[in-house]
Amino acid sequence: MNGLQIPMEQVLALAGILFSCGLLGLMLRRNIIFMLMSLEVMLNAAALAFVAAGAKWSQADGQIIFLLILTVAAAEVAVGLGLVLQIQRRFKTLDMDQARRLRG
Amino acid sequence: MTAIWLIPLFPLASATLLLLSAGRLPRQVAAVLGAGSVGLAAVCVALTARAFLADGEVREFTLWTWMAVGEFTPRIAFYIDGLTVVMMSVITGVGFLIHLYSVEFMWEDESICRYFAYMNLFVGAMLLLVMADNLLLLYLGWEGVGVCSYLLVGFWYRDPANGSAARKAFVVTRIGDTAMALGLFLLFTELGTLDIQPLLAAADSQWQVGDTLPILATALLLGGAVGKSAQLPLHTWLPDAMAGPTPVSALIHAATMVTAGVYLIARTFGLFQLAPPTQEAVAWIGLSTLLLAAFAALAQHDIKRILAYSTISQIGYMFLALGVGAYASGIFHLVTHAFFKALLFLAAGAVIHCLHHEHNIFRMGGLRTRLPVVFWSFLIGSAALAALPFTSGFYSKDAILLSAWELPGIGHWLWAGGLLGALLTGIYSFRLVFVVFFGEAHTQPDHQPGWKMSLPLAVLCVLSLVGGLLVLPLGNVFPPSGHHAAGHTIEYISIGTPLLGLLLAYLLFLGRQLPVDRLVDSAPGRNLRNFWLSGWRIDQLYDALWVRPFTSLSRWWRNEPVDRIYNAVVAFTQWAHHKLAALQTGELRWYATTMVFGLMLLLAIMLRNAT
Interface membership of B2 toward A (CB under 8 Å): no
Asked whether the beta carbons of residue B587 and residue A30 sit closer than 8 angstroms, the reply is no
pLDDT in tens, B82-126: 899 999 999 999 999 999 999 988 888 888 889 999 999 999 999
Q: Which of B388, B153, B373, B386 lies closest to B253, judged by CA? A: B153
Please give the pLDDT value at position A3. Answer: 52
* d(C-alpha B372, C-alpha B304), whole Å: 20
Interface membership of B596 toward A (CB under 8 Å): yes
Mean pLDDT of chain B, nearest integer: 87
pLDDT in tens, B346-368: 999 888 888 877 888 887 877 77
pTM of structure: 0.77
Asked whether the beta carbons of residue B589 and residue A104 sit closer than 8 angstroms, the reply is no
| Over residues B400-422, mean pLDDT | 86
Concatenated DSSP letters of B157-214: TTSHHHHHHHHHHHHHHHHHHHHHHHHHHHHHHHHS--BHHHHHHHHHHH--TT-HHH
Of the pLDDT bands very low, low, confident and very high (cuts 50, 70, 90), residue B316 is very high
Number of neighbours of residue B390 by Cβ within 10 angstroms: 13
Determine the 3-state secondary structure of B79 from DSSP: strand
* d(C-alpha B417, C-alpha B423), whole Å: 10
> Nearest-CA distance from A2 to chain B in Å?
36
Higher pLDDT, B318 or B59: B318
User: Angle B158-B163-B169 (CA atoms, 0-180°, nearest 5)?
Assistant: 155
Asked whether the beta carbons of residue A100 and residue B586 sit closer than 8 angstroms, the reply is yes
What is the percent of chain B where pLDDT is above 70?
98
Neighbouring residues of B460: CB distance < 8 A, sequence distance ≥ 6: B94, B97, B339, B340, B342, B343, B346, B377, B381
Determine the 3-state secondary structure of B87 from DSSP: helix
Number of neighbours of residue B240 by Cβ within 10 angstroms: 22
Q: Judge if the upstream peptide bond of residue B233 is cis by omega within 30 degrees of 0.
A: yes
Determine the 3-state secondary structure of B154 from DSSP: coil
| Over residues B298-325, mean pLDDT | 89
ipTM over 0.90: no
* d(C-alpha B184, C-alpha B178), whole Å: 10
* d(C-alpha A26, C-alpha A37), whole Å: 9
Give chain B positions within 8 Å (CB) of A27.
Answer: 589, 592-593, 596
> Nearest-CA distance from B608 to chain A in Å?
21
User: Helices B303-323 and B327-354: crossing angle, nearest 10°?
Assistant: 180
H or E segment and range at residue B450: none
> Nearest-CA distance from B577 to chain A in Å?
11
| Over residues A57-83, mean pLDDT | 92
Please check whether residue B281 is in contact with residue B403, taking contact to mean a CB–CB distance below 8 angstroms: no
Identity at B384, one-letter amino acid code: A
User: Helices B488-505 and B392-406: crossing angle, nearest 10°?
Assistant: 130
Please check whether residue B231 is in contact with residue B285, taking contact to mean a CB–CB distance below 8 angstroms: yes
Number of neighbours of residue B548 by Cβ within 10 angstroms: 11
* d(C-alpha B49, C-alpha B81), whole Å: 10
pLDDT in tens, B251-260: 888 788 888 9
Asked whether the beta carbons of residue B585 and residue A102 sit closer than 8 angstroms, the reply is yes
CA A8 to chain centre: 21
Give chain A positions within 8 Å (CB) of B585.
Answer: 100, 102-104
Q: Is the pLDDT of residue B487 over 80?
A: no
Interface membership of B69 toward A (CB under 8 Å): no
Enumerate the domain spans of chain B.
Answer: 326-507, 559-610
H or E segment and range at residue B474: none
Asked whether the beta carbons of residue B586 and residue A26 sit closer than 8 angstroms, the reply is no
- Produce one character per residue of A59-88: b if its CB has 16 or more CB atoms within 10 Å, e if not: eeebeebbeebeeebeeebeebeeebeebe
Sign of CA dihedral B567, B573, B579, B584: negative
Please give the pLDDT value at position B371. Answer: 82
* d(C-alpha B381, C-alpha B345), whole Å: 9
Interface A-B: count of C-beta contacts within 8 A: 32
